[in-house]
Chain A
Amino acid sequence: MADVIMPKMGDAMTEGKVIRWYKNAGDAVKKGEPLLEIETDKVNLDLEAEQDGTLGDVAAAAGQMVEVGGVLATILAEGEKAEPKRVAPAAAPAKEQDSKSAPDSAPSRRAIDKKDSIKKSTGEYGEAIDMKAPRIDRTAPAANVVAMPQAEGGRRRSSPLARKMARDMGVSLEEIQGSGPGGRIVASDIKNFKPAAAPQSQKPKAPALPPVQQLETKDIPLSAMRRTIAKRLAESTGPIPHFYVTAEYDVTNLLALREQLNEIEGIKTSVNDFIVRAAALAIRHHPNVNASWGDDAITQHGEVHIGIAVSTPEGLITPVVRNADEKSVSDIAAEVRSLADKAKNRKLMPNEYQGSTFTISNLGAWGIEQFTGIINPPNVAILAIGAATAQPVVIDRQVVIRDRMKVTMSCDHRVVDGALGAEYLRTLRSYLEQPLRLVL
């Protein structure tokens, strides 16, 4: 007899929710077959049977929260009888657990990304999932799947001819809407494509208002993700003494540099990608902002892992660009795009959203000029990036128009003092205002 238990999918995970069972009590199950889908605070996962047998009593019904290490069901080998029905321990705030059910023994359990199960799926289950998703060879053990292929998520279908024409015409496929099956970009799409007019001749249209919604009184059940956000951010503002420092940078040169880089075929960067690199490089000068508070000591981190706040329909998540100080702007751009796509599809693996040492949140795309971020523990600082706007400024006693951008740094005063925050922002200024430093 083997127990199927709620796996621990990351250090922060204390509980998971049973979404649905693919098998019922009494069903025969095969090793490797998906048994149920669970929702953790970050991702949805399928749990597989670890041995052949019959599914015994199901201890946790769909919808139930189960703490890490809690028994979800048992698998009975041939001839074994079910023990008296057990009930999964309901999720409770994490507390001391006896060594037998310690969550530390769980990480070896195989949990797989949903699409991993396509080749094993049958019948109803097969119909329940999106069979049109790109097929990926899953012959490698699922537990070892660390990085998804780069193309996942961001890939756009296009015919070979369309790609050739786009190359010849210097048109990026990203800008083109495909009219073929499954959104495939075909030759006629390239032929009919009209590049966006040069910015100066283009009169910006006023943005439409978001759709008016029906007003009603209703309860929106807390998802595991929303619960986690609430818990962690409350934990942050409560015990962490925040203070804020703001600087305004002249990013005219940065925007020009970005435009030049984006003219190079195959490179597509956003302003934020430059900020990620600048923030990471500035940390090299001030490693004490790249730290965590502990009761006995402050841990200063030897590597720079930048968390990027990404908004998804379910809520906020911060995928991590690891060793961002060692990566080029274009590498960061590609990585952030891929991570953001996965975040939006809830496909991030724990190692892709855990372990940040510093966080950046950017609301520039929403036209926000300045805001303050709440520190993402165990980080001790977060940068809140506003929109770059054209402003009249005085240079050499002349009024000129320059692009300005406000950055606010929230600091954990237990670790980062005011002067240190100010020094960090001054170093960041050197990188953002002399952006060639970022490509040196």
Chain B
Amino acid sequence: MSEKSYRDAIRDAMMEEMDRDPNVLIMGEDIGVYEGTFRITAGMLKKYGGKRVIDTPIAEAGMVGTAVGMAMLGLRPIVEMMTMNFAIVAADQILNHAAKVRYFSGGQVDVPVVIRGPQGAGVQLSAQHSQTFESFYAHFPGIKVVAPATPADAKGLLKTSIRGRDPVIFLESAALYGMKGEVPDDPNFTVPFGVSRVAREGSDVTIVSYSRMLQMSLIAAEKLSQDEGIECEVIDLRTLRPLDLEPAYASVTKTHRCVVVQEQWKPFGAAAEIAASITETVFDELDAPVARVTGEDVPMPYARNLELLATPHEQHVIAAVKKVMYANG
């Protein structure tokens, strides 16, 4: 174990996998000479050379299309998006090609491509560069959607992504890059897809979240414990496709109350899917409707004060927890 930042954990995962498998390569905008806009790829061009660390033109559809072709022929490309917002340009390559080639080929051809990059608000990048995409991608069969909340999970899940057979959308939280945490040093450490974890144990309310909102939920849970004596159980989903809600069902069976926290807009979001599944599966255990904490339904403002107002805050989680507890009306 050593203490690493989320950023370094991602770089470590990629470099360990490039050391392990010569078919792994990375391509993206400004990832080589410039070492990445968020400095994720620092030192990689020097170590692996221009054939495995490829600077591309500003052409996301081209990058992903190239990577899909590489993957079909046996390579294991990682595509870094400067932000995941830019991957919209490549949506056809991702959703209509990467996600469907195995199906169209009758199972003969895999597309083991990882498309990764930062997303989300909190760093004042305004409306076009602050969006979150988990529900957008998780809607489609044929791709995996990963959203780690800790440095260790970022590393373990990225290694699983690179080693797997499937196209993976790997969503990093821009606001978590500097976050530090204990990360196993073992080069064979991986975290499997579709295994949620209990990030905090509690008996009163279940909070279900992922990525940066998981960290915020943990802060809210500590405050609720100290100020109100309410003990929240916090579930970290880690991956949205596959989605493992078994620990959430078990937790709701214990607490009978549930709050789902997501950063994205409320309509048709991940929280809606999660809340509906909980209601379908453990309906008789619920003592209150499942509550959702989400971002405001507006394009993300640039101004710091407005950005704060438009994104979920721990106070929102606290209020939602009290609501499902029938506390304070």
Give me the interface of A with B, judged by CB distance under 8 Å: 159-164, 179-181, 186-188
Contact = CB atoms under 8 A, between A and B. Distances in A.
A253 B285 CA distance: 41
Contacts of B256: 161, 187
A162 B283 CA distance: 11
Nearest to A163: B284
A285 to B, nearest CB: 48
B326 interface: yes
B326 A180 contact: yes
Nearest to A167: B284
20 contacts: A159-B287, A159-B288, A160-B284, A160-B285, A161-B256, A161-B284, A161-B285, A161-B287, A162-B287, A163-B284, A164-B284, A164-B285, A179-B326, A180-B288, A180-B326, A181-B326, A186-B287, A186-B288, A187-B256, A188-B326
Contacts of A164: 284-285
A170 to B, nearest CB: 16
A350 to B, nearest CB: 38
Contacts of A161: 256, 284-287
A117 B132 CA distance: 41
A159 B286 CA distance: 7
A187 B286 CA distance: 9
A247 to B, nearest CB: 50
A164 to B, nearest CB: 5
B129 to A, nearest CB: 39
Nearest to A159: B287
Interface in B17-51: none
Interface of B: 256, 283-288, 326, 329
B284 to A, nearest CB: 5
B11 to A, nearest CB: 47
Sort A-B residue pairs by CB-CB distance and give the 6 closest, nearest first.
A161-B287, A187-B287, A164-B284, A159-B287, A160-B284, A160-B286
A160 B326 contact: no
A161 B287 CA distance: 5
Contacts, number: 28
A25 B36 CA distance: 71
B253 to A, nearest CB: 10
B228 to A, nearest CB: 16
Contacts of A188: 326
Contacts of B284: 160-161, 163-164
A103 B284 CA distance: 53
Given A160-B284, A163-B284, 7 more contacts: A159-B287, A160-B283, A161-B256, A162-B287, A181-B326, A186-B287, A186-B288
A186 B326 contact: yes
B278 to A, nearest CB: 11
A358 B326 CA distance: 49
Nearest to B323: A181
A159 B257 CA distance: 11
Contacts of A159: 286-288
B325 to A, nearest CB: 10
A186 B329 CA distance: 13
A180 B284 CA distance: 17
A162 B287 CA distance: 7
Contacts of A186: 287-288, 326
Contacts of A181: 326, 329
A163 B283 CA distance: 11
Nearest to A186: B287
A160 B286 CA distance: 6
Contacts of B287: 159-162, 186-187
A164 B282 CA distance: 12
Nearest to B279: A160
B288 to A, nearest CB: 6
A164 B287 CA distance: 10
A407 to B, nearest CB: 46
Contacts of B329: 181
A180 B326 CA distance: 7
B25 to A, nearest CB: 52
A437 to B, nearest CB: 40
B254 to A, nearest CB: 12
A272 to B, nearest CB: 34
Nearest to B252: A161
Contacts of B288: 159, 180, 186
Interface centre among B256, B287, B329 (most CB of A within 10 A): B287
A164 B256 CA distance: 12
A186 B285 CA distance: 11
A164 B329 CA distance: 23
Contacts of A179: 326
Nearest to A179: B326
A24 to B, nearest CB: 38
A164 B286 CA distance: 10
A180 to B, nearest CB: 6
A187 B284 CA distance: 11
B69 to A, nearest CB: 51
B239 to A, nearest CB: 28
A336 to B, nearest CB: 30
Contacts of A162: 287
A105 B329 CA distance: 53
Contacts of A163: 284
Interface centre among A161, A163, A179, A181 (most CB of B within 10 A): A161
A188 B327 CA distance: 12
Nearest to B286: A160
Contacts of B285: 160-161, 164
Interface centre among A159, A164, A180, A186 (most CB of B within 10 A): A159
A164 B284 CA distance: 6
A190 to B, nearest CB: 10
A138 to B, nearest CB: 24
A164 B288 CA distance: 13
A186 B256 CA distance: 11
A402 B329 CA distance: 50
Contacts of A160: 283-287
A163 to B, nearest CB: 7
Nearest to A180: B326
A161 B326 CA distance: 14
Nearest to A161: B287
B329 to A, nearest CB: 8
B241 to A, nearest CB: 28
Nearest to A158: B287
A161 B289 CA distance: 11
